[in-house]
Amino acid sequence: MQGSHARADTTPGTPTAVLTGAVADAIRAVGGFAGGVYLPSSTPGVLRLAVLAGLPGPLFRPWSRLHMDRPFPVADAYRLGSHVVLTDATETMRRYPQLAAGLPFRFGSVYVPVVSGTTTYGVLTVLRPSAQDATEALPDPARMTTVADRLGDALSALEQGGDPVVWDGPPLGVRPPAVTQPQGRIGHFVWDPADATITADDTFWALAGGVKDDMARSPEALAQAVAPDDAHLLLSALRETAAGSPPARPLRVRAGDGGHRLLEFWTEGPAGEVHQVGGFAVDPGSGPAAQEATDLLPDGVFAFDRLGLITYANPRAAALLGRSPEELVGRPLWQAVPWLDRPAYEDHLRAALLSPEPVHFQVERPTARSHGGRDGDWLTLSVYPGPDLVTCRVVPLGHTAEAPSLGEAAASTAGAPSAQYAEAPAYRPIVLAIALSEAVTAQQVSEVVMRELLPAFGGRRLAIYLLHERRLHLAWETGFPPRFLTQFEGVGLDAKLPGVETLTTGRPLFFESMDQLEAAYPGIPLDSTEGSRAFLPLIASGRPVGSCILGFERPRSFSSEERTVLTSLAGLIAQALERARRYDSEAALARGLQEALLPHRLSTHAQVETAGRYLPGTQGMDVGGDWYDVVEAGDGLALVIGDVQGHGVQAAATMGQLRSAVRAFALGDHAPHQVMSGTNRLLIDLDPGQFASCCYVRLDPVTGHARAARAGHPLPLLRHPDGRTDVLDMPGGLVLGVDPDARYPVTHLRLEPGAVLALYTDGLVERPGADIDEGVEALRMALFRAGQGARRRENTSLTELADLLTDRARRAPDRPDDIALLLATRRDPPSDTELSGRRPGRRADRPVP
């Protein structure tokens, strides 16, 4: 069930028929108008929308792919294995502000995990009209659970049959069960599941296409003959009724002749485990009189179904849209009228599909389609949602007096809507939600709010206060007069101020003019006599975080939709700030841990000079698992550098464990390959879920002889005394923490007096968009040029060289990874007096290979 392959086959009994039938059952069980089912994808931790019924897929593409760890109801239902019921927009805004910010419309929703045994296969989701409480939103929980369990068992059977339950393609769009009840010819039928017979009157056989013998063989054949496109809906209703649960509403399907059929089902005969199914089919007719009347209207009228397919357009609508009726009918709206694909227009269409109220907005028609400019370039589109069809009225701008929609600035009807309206505030919450998900510090959150929120609503002033020890402290502000907000710094929660009351009550406060604000809070200092203000509570998971103030230069009203959007955005901002607060705490802990673990003093030797540098990354947690060390090993020194995968406290802690392990092995003067093998097994035993690279060099300071082992680490550099600089050819083994039997070959080399050995981590040589070999070569050339410059003047000290090699990285505004560098050089041989002072037992010079 790979999605793209499964889409082609929707006949009864196939995997996609199972999915679409379950979605139809779920919509009927909840009384919804749209629904879908999410399944796991081949990408770990990602759910994809497999079936979408009742809504056009292109308009809801941002919600077709969800991470399991994101704060969305689908993810919670999947992870926790429990129902999630959201009664209305207010409940959605309170519990899931990211969802409410992206879809700030009046609807409720239900999410039920699809489970079989101990395996969760996905989530059924249904969108329905707003409800007063959870009982109204989910009137029969057992029925919805039965639908989900039946789907779970079917998916389990498919998986056991070798068909993995994975969906990687786009969602399969299907029509929901229809709710319209037209009148027309009526045919009666009875299906007996016990003997697999179907009996019906002549009217039913005629409505079904007249192939009586073929249809009487099976319910699958009957469903396919009556409604080829919607056979899965009919078959699901038949089986549900046979199980004793007939659909609560008539089922509307598309017949083979292009018309519609309305089917009603009930149980017949004695009660048992399986019931006989009775029903009738109604042919509503085509309604030619109504169509002829609509064709004569002076206004443009067209309609599309809940999948976005245009079903009707009168001549006036076709003329205004710049298409012939033949080019419109039967095609998806965004294909027939491609210039309606702007995000602003799409958001209004989403509102019409999800909310019961009409939506009115202006659209710009391309000049090339303006028919000589007779009607101008701007049209007013009024969208009236219905249970099965969405009807649209289109007239030239200025010919209608309907109210503007969410976020529209006051604009004269003589011209085009203002640029502010063109920015489409209604769709900006999605942009803000995405941007906030990438902000990790309080300052970054504030910058995102200033960049995305203010332009979306035409605001000019912003202030964010954070709560600390029951007092509000200013964290960020822009646009207010200098030092005006200073007088409110550190106010307590008992202060009679709107910024305080919005937090203590949890309710947003909107003032359409400064007179309103002054009347509500007499004597409050005002930064301006003109304008309007919005005070928003910042509450995350029930915990108060602070408050947000938005300032507008002119008086303005706030529509109900606009208030919902702003309140939802406040929830998003609060969550981001709470996450930033936790990030700051963890980052401080990680920095302290890493500072304690990195060496403050390197082991020394009379003939060896070393210098180390560490630079934290500037993205993410800032601290990582890079480390370096110099350890006494027997009568020599061990030079060590390593890099633990990841960042944060866990990476720093793992780094500390590995550094301690390597030091212990080095102090025991184990051979390099033994040090690597022992550390590798230790990391596997610790099982931190991370791996590490490492390079270990055992150096004899007297002879310069060195033995080195490498575990997946970048190759060292060696600058010879004459200035030649090489990338050392050192075979290596796997990174640490992967294979307990990994082997680490040893390479022999010699460090002449005056030569410089450079060990480094990949953060120093990796560049976005460039091969790492290019970075290694750039570092080699920098080390070479430093040697050339030293010969032309005084010798460069090793500490100066370390600063020189890390200077570019230190000055870079962004460092995706942390950086470690360790340099070592040998001094000239000691005098005989110095040699005579060596401890007994030191080894003599070894032969150089």
pLDDT tens profile 479-497: 899 989 989 999 999 999 9
Check pLDDT > 70 for residue 842.
no
The pLDDT, as a whole number, for residue 258 is: 66
- 192: β partners: 197
CA distances from 194 to 14, 18, 191, 732 (A): 23, 22, 9, 71
- Which one is predicted more confidently, 841 or 534? 534
Helix (H, G, I), strand (E, B) or coil at 636: strand
- For residues 627-647, give the mean pLDDT: 89
Check pLDDT > 80 for residue 169.
yes
Check pLDDT > 90 for residue 5.
no
- For residues 366-376, give the mean pLDDT: 48
The pLDDT, as a whole number, for residue 767 is: 78
Least confidently predicted of 36-50, 251-265, 766-780: 251-265
Name the H helices within 768-831. 772-792, 798-811
- Which one is predicted more confidently, 686 or 471? 471
| Local confidence band at 808 (pLDDT 50, 70, 90 cut-offs) | confident
Mean pLDDT, rounded, of the chain: 80
The pLDDT, as a whole number, for residue 533 is: 94
The pLDDT, as a whole number, for residue 745 is: 95
- For residues 210-216, give the mean pLDDT: 55
Number of alpha carbons in the 13 Å side-chain half-sphere of residue 606:
11
Alpha-carbon distance 51 to 16, whole Å? 8
Residues 253 and 261: beta-carbon distance below 8 Å: yes
The pLDDT, as a whole number, for residue 567 is: 81
Check pLDDT > 90 for residue 52.
yes
The pLDDT, as a whole number, for residue 343 is: 76
Residues 464 and 548: beta-carbon distance below 8 Å: yes
Q: What share of the chain is helix, strand, coil (3-state, %, to 5)?
A: 35, 25, 35
Angle, CA of 209, 212 and 215, to the nearest 5°: 85
| Local confidence band at 430 (pLDDT 50, 70, 90 cut-offs) | low
The pLDDT, as a whole number, for residue 576 is: 80
The pLDDT, as a whole number, for residue 7 is: 42
- Which one is predicted more confidently, 467 or 201? 467
- For residues 322-329, give the mean pLDDT: 85
The pLDDT, as a whole number, for residue 730 is: 92
Backbone phi and psi for residue 284, each to the nearest 5 degrees, phi listed first: -75, -15
Residues 232 and 160: beta-carbon distance below 8 Å: no
Give the tens place of pLDDT for each residue, 334-355.
888 988 888 778 888 888 898 8
CA distances from 10 to 6, 214, 231, 277 (A): 8, 20, 8, 23
Helix (H, G, I), strand (E, B) or coil at 51: strand
The pLDDT, as a whole number, for residue 391 is: 85
Residues 520 and 499: beta-carbon distance below 8 Å: no
Angle, CA of 575, 578 and 583, to the nearest 5°: 125
H or E stretch including 515?
A: helix 514-520
Alpha-carbon distance 495 to 512, whole Å? 22
Q: What is the dihedral of CA 628, 633, 637, 643, to 10 degrees?
A: -20
- For residues 211-222, give the mean pLDDT: 65
Buried b or exposed e, range 190-212, using 16+ CB within 10 angstroms: ebbbeeeebebeebbbebbbeee
- Which one is predicted more confidently, 595 or 148? 148
Check pLDDT > 60 for residue 97.
yes
Helix (H, G, I), strand (E, B) or coil at 777: helix
- For residues 203-219, give the mean pLDDT: 67
Name the most confidently modeled range: 163-177, 285-299, 374-388, 672-686. Answer: 672-686
| Local confidence band at 623 (pLDDT 50, 70, 90 cut-offs) | low
CA distances from 77 to 73, 143, 170, 522 (A): 6, 17, 21, 48
Helix (H, G, I), strand (E, B) or coil at 581: helix
Check pLDDT > 80 for residue 232.
yes
Check pLDDT > 90 for residue 295.
no
Helix (H, G, I), strand (E, B) or coil at 439: coil
- For residues 729-752, give the mean pLDDT: 92
Above pLDDT 70, what percent of the chain? 79
Number of alpha carbons in the 13 Å side-chain half-sphere of residue 815:
25
- Which one is predicted more confidently, 81 or 89? 81
Token pair 């996609």: residue: 16
CB atoms within 10 A of CB 183: 10
Check pLDDT > 80 for residue 113.
yes
Buried b or exposed e, range 752-791, using 16+ CB within 10 angstroms: eebbbbbbbbbbbbbeeeeeeeebbeebbebbbebbeebe
The pLDDT, as a whole number, for residue 420 is: 36
Check pLDDT > 70 for residue 417.
no
The pLDDT, as a whole number, for residue 643 is: 92
Q: Cβ neighbours of residue 497 under 8 Å, at least 6 residues apart?
A: 488, 491, 521, 524
Q: Which two tokens stand for residue 53?
A: 């019924």
Residues 733 and 778: beta-carbon distance below 8 Å: no
Alpha-carbon distance 220 to 17, whole Å? 11
- Which one is predicted more confidently, 326 or 12? 326
Give the tens place of pLDDT for each residue, 657-676.
888 899 899 998 899 999 99
Residues 525 and 537: beta-carbon distance below 8 Å: no
Give the tens place of pLDDT for each residue, 781-802.
999 988 776 555 556 689 999 9
Alpha-carbon distance 262 to 181, whole Å? 7
The pLDDT, as a whole number, for residue 437 is: 62
Q: For residue 755, what is the DSSP state?
A: -
Range 193-202, long-range pairs (CB < 8 A, 24+ positions): 193/219, 193/242, 193/274, 193/275, 193/276, 193/277, 194/274, 194/276, 198/222
**Smallest Cα–Cα separation from 248: which of 147, 161, 357, 395?**
147
CA-based R_g, the chain, Å: 36
- For residues 685-692, give the mean pLDDT: 81
Check pLDDT > 60 for residue 813.
yes
The pLDDT, as a whole number, for residue 840 is: 40
- Which one is predicted more confidently, 652 or 18? 18
Q: Cβ neighbours of residue 442 under 8 Å, at least 6 residues apart?
A: 466, 475, 476, 577, 580, 581, 584
Check pLDDT > 90 for residue 708.
yes
Alpha-carbon distance 542 to 97, whole Å? 12
Check pLDDT > 60 for residue 325.
yes
Alpha-carbon distance 564 to 562, whole Å? 5
| Local confidence band at 687 (pLDDT 50, 70, 90 cut-offs) | confident
The pLDDT, as a whole number, for residue 676 is: 95
Residues 806 and 784: beta-carbon distance below 8 Å: no
The pTM for the full model equals 0.47
Least confidently predicted of 322-331, 539-548, 563-572, 689-698: 563-572
Check pLDDT > 90 for residue 45.
no
Residues 275 and 266: beta-carbon distance below 8 Å: no
Above pLDDT 90, what percent of the chain? 29
Name the most confidently modeled range: 313-322, 425-434, 556-565, 686-695. Answer: 313-322
- For residues 309-325, give the mean pLDDT: 87
HEC-encoded secondary structure of 162-196: CCCCCCCCCCEEECCCCCCCCCCEEEEEEEECCCC
Return the amino acid letter for 642. Answer: G
H or E stretch including 609?
A: strand 608-615
- For residues 653-658, give the mean pLDDT: 83
The pLDDT, as a whole number, for residue 595 is: 63
DSSP 302-360: EEEETTSBEEEE-HHHHHHHTS-HHHHTTSBHHHHSGGG-SHHHHHHHHHHHH-SS-EE
Q: Which two tokens stand for residue 284?
A: 């509503």
The pLDDT, as a whole number, for residue 115 is: 94
Check pLDDT > 80 for residue 551.
yes
